[in-house]
Amino acid sequence: MYLDKSKATSLLVKGIIVTVIGSIMAILNFLFMLAVIYDGELGFIIAFLIFMLIGVGLIVLGVRNLVFHGTLTQLESIFCNDADGSVSLDELVKTRGAFFEGRVMRAVRKNYFQHLTYDNKNRVFELSDRVRGMSDYKTRFIGKNCPNCGAPLKIRKGTVTICEQCGGKVVS
């Protein structure tokens, strides 16, 4: 797993909460504004319009977070299913659309992913172990199944790792 689950979950919860609060705020302000329009007090109408705009802004912000969370889960799936340990940003943009690049770079900038480096020159994501002092991030990963439980694994050639599912030792 490359996605930082706690950050992604926090983003999802914030998106839902902000969207719900914004929706409630906009609906209540709209109803109160209708009541005030009936009475004809202009000062209250302006105040309610401002609060309704804030509510709509919160809805937009919440939905933006929810869409970004969807992008994170798409990227997680792409990275986990990649066979050779590198994913081209140009290929992602080609298959997912131009807006996807901004979302991907936002995810990288905000460190939503672990064990991932971005080669800006070649526009390629490399799945790495983030070992300090490791100079060659280009060492390729191989896909392998755990001999004990059959869980799919991605490990570096010539290394030993522990299966996250069953704790068994896997040698590549």
Rg (CA), the chain: 23
**pLDDT for residue 90 is more than 70:** yes
Report whether pLDDT(36) > 80: no
Q: CA 143 to CA 115: how far, in whole Å?
A: 16
User: How many alpha carbons fall within 13 Å on the CB side of residue 99?
Assistant: 4
Please give the residue that has the higher pLDDT: either 29 or 81: 29
Q: One-letter amino acid identity for 120? A: N
pLDDT tops 90 at residue 68? no
Q: Which among 4, 138, 47 has a CA at the least distance from the CA of 84?
A: 138
Residues 98 and 94: their CA atoms lie apart, in Å, by: 7
Checking if the pLDDT of 156 tops 80, the result is no
**137 band by pLDDT with thresholds 50, 70 and 90:** very low
Q: Residue 101 above 70 pLDDT?
A: yes
What are the structural domain ranges in the chain? 5-127, 141-171
Output the pTM of the full model: 0.61
pLDDT band at 151 (very low <50, low <70, confident <90, very high): confident
- Measure the CA–CA gap between 72 and 8, rounded to whole angstroms: 7
Helix (H) or strand (E) holding 133: none
